[in-house]
Structure formats: C-alpha cells, structure tokens
Copies of this chain bind each other. A is one copy, B any other.
C-alpha cells in the first residue's frame, strides 16, 4: 500500500512560478522534515473529541481541527499513524492538502515573520481506525501565542449526511476508495454553518449508522451507542466540561429506514421498527438535553425513504414537545439533488442544508441572538 502520497500541489506550483521572477515573497510551503532541533510544543486548541497523551491527539470522529498561533516565519506539526487527508491553513487560507501523509514532522514556512494562525483539519472519515495528530512545534526564531477559542459552540450529530460522505464526487457511482477520497467534511453543511457564525464545532457522526438500526441491517453501534465515547472502540468516555454547545443539530434515521428489514433482524415489522426508533430517538435527545440545559436543538430530515424519515422524526419532535421540550425545532428538507456518492448530498446540497439551518437558527430564540 502506498502510504506516502503527499500532495503539495498548491505550494509547489506557487514556488515554481515565483522562482522564475524576482523578490516576490514565495507562497507558504508544507514539506516533510526531520524532527526540528530544539523543537518545543506549541499549544493547540481542539474543539473536537480526542484522546490526548502529552502533545499527541488520537481522534476518530470526523471534522477534527487543530488550531495554533505564533509570531514567526514558520512552524511545524507532526503526523502520526492512520490514513487521513489533512488540509493545512495559514491565516485562514489553505496552503496545502496532504493525502495520506507519511507519519513524521512537517514544516510550514515561507511566510512573513509576523503573527499567524495555523489550522490542520482532517477532511476524511476514519471508521476503520483512529488517526493521530502529533501536535504543533516551534523552534528558535518563532514565539508561541495563545489561541483564544471562539465563544460560540455548535454540535452536529448524524450519519453520512453529516459526515459529508462522497460530497465532492462528480458521480453517484463510487468505489470505497473513491468514497474515502471524495469525502470532505470541511465542505459539509456543519462546518459551513459553524463558519457562518464563527463558531467552534464538533461533528459527531458516523456513516451508515442510525438511531436503532444501521444501513442494510449492518453491525456496529447505532449512533446513540457510539456517542458517549471519545473513540469508536469504547476505550474512553468523552468528557470535556468546556464543550457546552449553544446549538445542537441532529439528523438521524436515514439508515434506520432506507433499506428493507432482513428476515432475522430484531424487528419483525415496520411498525416494531418505528416504535423502537421513536422511543430511542426521544431518549437520546433527552440525554443530550440533560447535559445541555440551555442548548437549542434542531432536528432536520431529508425526504428519502419515501418520506418515512421525515414522518418518524416529526413524531419524535412532537413527543418531545408534548413532554415539555420547548427549545427545539424541526426542519424537513425536500428537493436535495443527492448527486454525491451513492445518492448522498453534494457540496451544493450542503449549501442548501446549511442555508436552511441558518434560517432556523436565525428564526428561533437561541443564545446567539433572538429573531
């Protein structure tokens, strides 16, 4: 297996172009390097779920991003094991995308000797195993600066739609490798909504999972069973008192309902599946509410599964409202083009979903502002 595909297209093309001319500042570059001498850890801010050991972060949920700030002309980061596509941003601008970077140290350099922010974001989904980010480092000539986390926090809980499964694919037909390569969570609706409000975000989503049943009756934790843990292996419960989202957006049910029951599954009839789905979705939202007393909760759906997801989620919201839940909205969406891999939302659909969620957030009473 080729573990060493490093795409530095942007930066290398930029360097080649400027080499022919004169003292124009060359574009930032990202290159693998030996461990820098006397490197010191540059503290990172991480909104997403990780397991931290010294400066290393193990992560598996999608949408992870690592932020740091410094004063100087360059900075380093370390990539640990695990297949991943990473985007490197300096001062909010992408400078490189690394597909399956080899474990080791990377230098980001060639920018003005002044204050900068750097972000490493993971684009891909890693159900097969966790990834490791080895942290940021700086050496002589660079001065660390603190990162100030944004006050706003938003959490997205869901399935492949929230992951951004195959959202950049030009075709609906995709191999597993193509799904992996065309999944870009940074272009999914969650990070788009978070960016609109300049909010920190978590993407707690797993492709193929539902509330009680996974796609085609496949094995694995349904989302509410995976949700309490930092990684998908249940090795450690996730707990971070600083994560107090003001908005929680949930979309589940696609995988419970888009495939027929197989003989031998635990539900004999569609009615049994519906009853189980409703009571477990209600319980899951109640457990989120118990930990996030003030959060505004949005449940949204597509019109897939011949309307079954929408009608079932609508019942869940009604049951919650009947039980006294007031800070909740239901947003059913119709007419998405679903031209990503295997009829999944495309990046254009992601824009439409983001717009609908922004309308709901702006139109409801949330701690981010009243209508």
Contact = CB atoms under 8 A, between A and B. Distances in A.
Interface string A286-314: 00000000000000001111101000000
A308 B260 CA distance: 9
A259 B262 contact: no
Given A175-B176, A176-B176, A261 B218 contact: no
A302 B261 CA distance: 13
A45 interface: no
B263 A304 contact: yes
Contact of A264 (B176, B219, B337, B342): B337
Contacts of A257: 260
A217 interface: yes
A335 B262 CA distance: 10
Interface in A215-256: 216-220
B342 A218 contact: yes
A362 interface: no
A173 B219 contact: yes
B258 A260 contact: yes
Main DSSP-derived SS at the A contact region = loop
A216 B305 CA distance: 10
Contact of A263 (B176, B259, B338): B338
A263 B218 contact: no
A118 to B, nearest CB: 35
A260 B305 CA distance: 5
A305 B259 CA distance: 8
Nearest to A179: B176
A121 B257 CA distance: 40
Nearest to A343: B262
A259 B261 contact: no
A209 B220 CA distance: 26
A270 interface: yes
A365 interface: no
A274 interface: no
Given A218-B342, A342-B216, A335 B263 contact: yes
Given A173-B218, A259-B259, A259-B260, 6 more contacts: A173-B219, A261-B306, A262-B304, A263-B302, A263-B303, A264-B337
Interface of A: 172-173, 175-176, 216-220, 257-264, 269-270, 302-306, 308, 334-338, 342-343
